[in-house]
């Protein structure tokens, strides 16, 4: 599948900038830089210079390609321009702000204080960045480069016997879905190519409208079964090396750093499974990493990492490796959301495992049931075990069936082996893991034919 990409325009304004000029006010300009690797930043655009103004609203917008599955770090640096040279090194520095493009897109409008290079506040200066999708984006991308096409969605009249009838086709991307709201719904015309060719008067086969789409990482599940090996042994997948990492931690960091930009409170429930836990030392297939069942939430990716590190020496790796309990648990939230008459919430379960699964039939049954619900399952396989069972659950080579023969109505599982990306750039794993997610989200809402809400609900992710 092609990268999930769209073009966005960034509008920039500032308030209460430092005044560096004597006898007049600063003449600000904002340069926008993107981090490409390490500490290397490349300028991708700059605004015009505004004369004698401490509260500029720059008219020139910065055009950026936005990739849902990538971490795109941006720096907004504001200068007082007193000469006509392009080089900014000889101009007075008024402050800067760093963030990711995902943070701007998910907030739509982001206001933050400006900082000096020593990390101190640049007076009372603030910067505001507003992101807006560029119209006719698909045409521009298609003409410029064929690899960045939007995701195509095919809408069918569903039949239980599999003889689905094509209603129409439209194209979208995750950014467009994520930005949908009651005041600005995401609407798409379903076009049936055959009908369009036959009838000159044909317009469309209906319009699909979304007024709210929330994508929530509802659970992170970490495999604590005995097949991982004793954490005290260097051969164990849970052994933390002298550099403070193992494959589990690297997988959490890689995917979590991308996903956390799309969660407003950045609180993620994180669980383990397959271990004996204190004080009774009974085997649990769903225990909170922070040992707090009433509040299993971890604050951001760092919170998940800290909870994992604290939990590891307090449990005994055991077994068996059962996926179905945690899948069914998240499916409970999905079932509740499915009862709503609106396209409102979508849940994601992230499982990190060594791949030795013992409840394959129950897991197949759980996934087939979950395929009817607003949820997806991401599985990251660590270590070098045989992952044939994980690839079977992925269903890329055919439709997954339950032990009784019931078919999954859509593909909701994405499996990725971690070691395939061990020597690749750190962003590569997240890009591969999240590649199928936009298609899975829109396919669910279309098979359900959910009506948009009459008003914007006030909902948060569990």
Is residue 451 scored above 70 in pLDDT?
no
pLDDT value at residue 138: 37
Give yes or no: residues 123 and 156 share one domain: no
* pLDDT tens for each residue of 148-205: 445 667 777 755 445 567 888 877 765 565 555 555 667 778 888 888 888 878 888 8
pLDDT value at residue 218: 62
* pLDDT tens for each residue of 21-57: 777 899 999 999 999 677 889 899 999 999 999 999 9
Binned at pLDDT 50, 70 and 90, residue 377 comes out as very high
Give yes or no: residues 81 and 163 share one domain: no
Cα(40)–Cα(401) distance, integer angstroms: 48
Domain boundary among 133, 164, 192: 133
Give yes or no: residues 396 and 437 share one domain: yes
Is residue 350 scored above 50 in pLDDT?
yes
Q: What is the arithmetic mean of pLDDT over 364-382?
A: 93
40: Cβ contacts below 8 Å, ≥ 6 apart: none
* pLDDT tens for each residue of 271-295: 999 999 999 999 999 999 999 998 9
* pLDDT tens for each residue of 60-119: 999 998 887 788 999 999 999 988 888 898 899 999 999 999 899 888 899 999 999 999
Domain count, the chain: 3
CATH number at residue 40: 2.60.40.150
pLDDT value at residue 452: 44
pLDDT value at residue 338: 84
142 inside domain: no
Give yes or no: residues 305 and 433 share one domain: yes
Is residue 398 scored above 80 in pLDDT?
no
pLDDT value at residue 45: 92
Binned at pLDDT 50, 70 and 90, residue 219 comes out as confident
- pLDDT > 90: what percent of the chain? 45
Binned at pLDDT 50, 70 and 90, residue 210 comes out as low
Is residue 448 scored above 90 in pLDDT?
no
Can you give the residue range of the structural domain that contains 239? Answer: 214-448
60 inside domain: yes
Cα(23)–Cα(239) distance, integer angstroms: 64
Give yes or no: residues 52 and 184 share one domain: no
118 inside domain: yes
pLDDT value at residue 94: 97
More confident residue, 454 or 266: 266
What's the chain look like in SS3?
Answer: CCCCEEEEEEEEEEECCCCCCCCCCCCEEEEEEEEEECCEEEEEEECCCCCCCCCCECCCCEEEEEECCCCCEEEEEEEECCCCCCCCCCCEEEEEEEEEHHHHHHHCEEEEEEECCCCCEEEEEEEEEEEEECCCHHHHHHHHCHHHCCEEEEEEECCCCCCCEEEEEEEECHHHHHCCCCCCCEEEECECHHHHHHCCCCCCCCEEEECCCEEEEEEEEEECEHHHCCCCCCCCCCCCCCCCCCHHHHHHHHHHHHHHHHCCCCEEEEEEECEEECCCCEEECCEECCCCCCCCEEEHHHHHHHHHHHHHHHCEEECCCCCHHHHHHHHHHHHHHHCCCCCCEEEEEEEEECCCCCCHHHHHHHHHHHCCCCEEEEEEECCCCCCHHHHHHHCCCCCCECCCCCECCCCCEEEEEHHHHCCCCCHHHHHHHHCCHHHHHHHHHHHHCCCCCCCCCCCCCC
Cα(29)–Cα(48) distance, integer angstroms: 6
Q: What is the arithmetic mean of pLDDT over 248-269?
A: 82
| pTM for the structure as a whole | 0.62
Give yes or no: residues 270 and 283 share one domain: yes
CATH number at residue 372: 3.40.50.410
pLDDT value at residue 171: 75
Binned at pLDDT 50, 70 and 90, residue 460 comes out as very low
Q: What is the arithmetic mean of pLDDT over 219-225?
A: 93
Is residue 9 scored above 50 in pLDDT?
yes
pLDDT value at residue 429: 82
Assess contact for 312 and 277: CB atoms under 8 A: no
């Amino acid at each position: 599948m092609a990268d999930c990409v769209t073009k966005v325009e960034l509008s920039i304004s500032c308030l209460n900038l430092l005044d560096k000029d004597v006898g007049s006010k600063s003449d600000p300009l904002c340069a926008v830089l993107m981090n490409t690797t390490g500490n290397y930043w490349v300028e991708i655009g700059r605004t015009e210079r505004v004369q004698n103004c401490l509260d500029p609203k720059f008219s020139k917008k910065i055009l950026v390609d936005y990739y849902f599955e990538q971490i795109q770090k941006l720096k907004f640096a504001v200068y007082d321009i007193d000469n006509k040279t392009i080089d900014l090194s000889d101009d007075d520095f008024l402050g800067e702000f760093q963030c990711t493009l995902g943070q701007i897109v998910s907030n739509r409008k982001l206001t933050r204080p400006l900082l000096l290079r020593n990390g101190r506040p640049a007076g009372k200066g603030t910067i505001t960045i507003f992101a807006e999708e560029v119209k006719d984006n698909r045409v521009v991308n298609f003409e410029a480069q064929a690899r960045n096409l939007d995701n195509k969605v095919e809408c069918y009249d569903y039949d239980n016997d599999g003889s689905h009838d094509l209603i129409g086709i439209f194209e979208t991307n995750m950014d467009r879905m994520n930005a949908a709201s009651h005041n600005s719904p995401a609407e798409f015309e379903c076009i049936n190519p055959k009908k369009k060719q036959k009838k000159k008067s044909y317009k469309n086969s209906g319009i699909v409208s979304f007024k709210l789409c929330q994508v929530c990482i509802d659970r992170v599940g970490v495999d604590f079964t005995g097949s991982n090996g004793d954490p005290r042994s260097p051969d164990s997948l849970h052994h933390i090396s002298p550099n403070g990492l193992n494959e589990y931690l690297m997988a959490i960091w890689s995917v979590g750093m991308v996903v956390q930009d799309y969660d407003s409170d950045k609180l993620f429930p994180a669980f383990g499974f397959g271990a004996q836990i204190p004080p009774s030392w009974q085997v649990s297939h769903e225990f909170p990493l922070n040992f707090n069942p009433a509040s299993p939430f971890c604050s951001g990716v760092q919170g998940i990492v800290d909870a994992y590190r604290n939990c590891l020496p307090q449990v005994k790796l055991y077994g068996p490796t059962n996926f179905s309990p945690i899948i069914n648990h998240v499916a409970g939230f999905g079932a509740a959301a499915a009862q709503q008459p609106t396209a409102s919430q979508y849940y994601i379960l992230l499982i990190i495992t060594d791949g030795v699964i013992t409840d394959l039939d129950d897991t197949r049954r759980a996934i087939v049931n979950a395929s009817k619900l607003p949820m997806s399952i991401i599985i990251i396989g660590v270590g070098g075990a045989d992952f044939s069972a994980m690839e079977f659950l992925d269903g890329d080579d055919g439709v997954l069936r339950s032990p009784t023969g019931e078919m999954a109505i859509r593909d909701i599982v994405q499996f990725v082996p971690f070691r395939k990306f061990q020597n690749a750039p750190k962003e590569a794993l997240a890009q591969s893991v999240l590649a199928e997610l936009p298609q899975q989200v829109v396919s669910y809402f279309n098979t359900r034919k959910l009506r948009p809400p009459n008003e914007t609900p006030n909902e948060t992710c569990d």
